[in-house]
Amino acid sequence: MTLPNDAIPADAPWWGTDAHRRFLLTDAARQFEFFGRSLDPSGGFHAQDYAGRPIPDAPRELHATTRMVHSFALGHLMGVKGADDMVDHGMKAIWNLHRDPDHGGYLWSFAPGGGVADGTKLAYGHAFVLLAVASAKQAGHPDADRLLADIREVIEARFWDHARGRMSEEYARDWQQISTYRGMNANMHMSEALLAAYEATGEDVFLHRALGIFDFFIGQVGAAHGWRLPEHYTEDWQIDAGYEGNPMFRPKGTTPGHSFELARLLLQAWDLGGRLDTKLPEWAGQLYSRALADGWDKARGGIIYTVDLAGQPLRTNRYWWPVTEAIGAGAALLKAGGNAAREQEYRRFWQDGSRLFIDHVKGGWFPEIDDQNRPDALQFAGKPDIYHAIQADLLPLLPGLSHAAREMPLLKS
């Protein structure tokens, strides 16, 4: 079954209705089917083109492998056929192909069939190892505890700055420092992984570390900059407003999509902490409102990629993932007591996500669109992994703001 692009009503009730649930579960089923074909018997997962064909010779990057494990762990809990095989295959790839047996830690990428493609050790990738392992543990994978112990040791010894309560960034394969760069993105994803680890283990240290990351980037930096979040920092954590690196992972400026993502994570942390820390939902609302004002492209739809510290557009490219994160934040705010205006915004995110990005025929989301709203391929080859878009489908269906893996809806319910 597929739904037409205009299946989301313009004004009739939708949030929380059977039609809303069916729409989300239908897209989730299409995604699991599309990405379920990516398993490569020689190791890891194929990158896939728009039609679902393997992209020859594409390296297997750590964030893609781990996010597949996380996503299919959720699929396993939903009863998705074959999801347990995907999780098991991915966990083996993390341990046998990404893990560095000589120096410890996890390699950024391996070549199809095995062999190191890029031995860099990145905080960003290691955060996703923790996320994958935490989700696999909640899904009952038998090897989760071994990987959890290993990734904890690596983070403690190599990445976690115990004095500042944040992550350092990047090293060579043998752990020689290769730059003094510090970034928000890796720390944001570490906070996500820490919350998942707290849910999986119940150990308070994980929640406390996530809260410390939020205190710095949002309570200190964001509050002092109009609730915009600078992405790049020097080694002593001073804002580096002129920095520009990889156009996907380290673009210049601030990224509204990350503010949406952090708004959702703040509400998850608030919920996990017993809803006692009232500043967390306040910060979430501020981040969400600023990101919506800065990022939403009213003329074309979608969310632009980056703005400067004054809110002026820098990169007006429109990718799929900021829309999925706006959906997640909007759903979290609705669960936390949002009003009719928030429901309209949530609906609008889905209307444009469906119109611009969802492949209603083959499954998955197109990662980028051009000025005429057609699928484009300037930044990405094929459809990236399932992680962002499957969470947009699943998180709104959860009854609460946390305990995600333990409360997955059944796909066919």
Extended beta strands in 10-127, E state: 60-61, 109-110, 116-118, 121-122
Helix (H) or strand (E) run with residue 21 in it: helix 18-36
160's CB contacts (< 8 A; 6+ apart) are 166, 167, 168, 209
- For 25, which DSSP code? H
- Please state, in angstroms and rounded to a whole number, the distance separating the CA atoms of residues 137 and 112: 27
% of the chain residues with pLDDT over 70: 96
Which of 5-9, 53-57, 166-170 has the lowest average pLDDT? 5-9
Q: Which residue has 């896939």 as its token pair?
A: 48
Tell me what the mean pLDDT of segment 77-91 comes to.
96
**Residue 248 confidence (pLDDT):** 83
The answer to whether 403 is a known catalytic residue is: no
Tell me what the mean pLDDT of segment 54-68 comes to.
96
- Please state, in angstroms and rounded to a whole number, the distance separating the CA atoms of residues 52 and 36: 10
- Please state, in angstroms and rounded to a whole number, the distance separating the CA atoms of residues 192 and 127: 8
**Residue 405 confidence (pLDDT):** 62
**Residue 406 confidence (pLDDT):** 65
**Residue 412 confidence (pLDDT):** 60
For 189-248, write each residue's pLDDT tens digit: 999 999 999 999 999 999 999 999 999 999 999 999 999 999 999 999 999 999 999 888
Structure tokens at 105: 């830690």
For residue 12, how many other CB atoms are within 10 A of its CB? 9
pLDDT at 413 over 80: no
Which of 12-16, 88-92, 213-217, 324-328 has the lowest average pLDDT? 12-16
- Please state, in angstroms and rounded to a whole number, the distance separating the CA atoms of residues 199 and 272: 8
Q: Are strands 182-183 and 170-171 parallel, antiparallel or unpaired?
A: unpaired
Residue 161, helix vs strand vs coil: strand
Which of 70, 76, 189, 388 does the annotation list as catalytic?
388
Tell me what the mean pLDDT of segment 58-62 comes to.
96
- Please state, in angstroms and rounded to a whole number, the distance separating the CA atoms of residues 408 and 72: 12
Extended beta strands in 250-393, E state: 304-307, 313-319, 368-369
3-state SS, 387-401, equals: HHHHHHHHHHHCCCC
Instruction: Give Dmax over CA atoms of the chain in angstroms.
Output: 59
**Residue 199 confidence (pLDDT):** 95
The answer to whether 141 is a known catalytic residue is: no
Structure tokens at 298: 């009213």
For 352-400, write each residue's pLDDT tens digit: 999 999 999 999 999 999 999 999 988 899 999 899 999 999 999 998 9
% of the chain residues with pLDDT over 90: 90
Please tell me the chain's helix, strand, coil percentages from 3-state DSSP, rounded to the nearest 5: 50, 10, 40
317's CB contacts (< 8 A; 6+ apart) are 304, 305, 368, 378, 379
Higher-pLDDT residue of 114, 185: 185
Distances in Å between the Cα of 139 and the Cα atoms of 79, 189, 203 are 11, 20, 18
Tell me what the mean pLDDT of segment 143-153 comes to.
98
**Residue 11 confidence (pLDDT):** 82
User: What are the chain's domains?
Assistant: 1-36+203-398 (1.50.10.10), 58-179 (no CATH)
**Residue 7 confidence (pLDDT):** 82
Tell me what the mean pLDDT of segment 117-143 comes to.
97
The backbone torsions φ and ψ at residue 319, rounded to the nearest 5 degrees and listed phi first, read -110, 165
Residue 207, helix vs strand vs coil: helix
Residue 45, helix vs strand vs coil: strand
Mean pLDDT of the chain: 94
Tell me what the mean pLDDT of segment 81-89 comes to.
97
Tell me what the mean pLDDT of segment 341-352 comes to.
95
Closest CA to 268 of 106, 370, 400, 151: 400
pTM as predicted = 0.96
For 259-318, write each residue's pLDDT tens digit: 999 999 999 999 999 999 999 999 999 999 999 999 999 999 999 999 999 999 999 999
Which of 89, 98, 189, 258 does the annotation list as catalytic?
258
Res. 5 pLDDT band, cuts 50 70 90? very low
Q: Are strands 121-122 and 160-161 parallel, antiparallel or unpaired?
A: unpaired
Res. 13 pLDDT band, cuts 50 70 90? confident
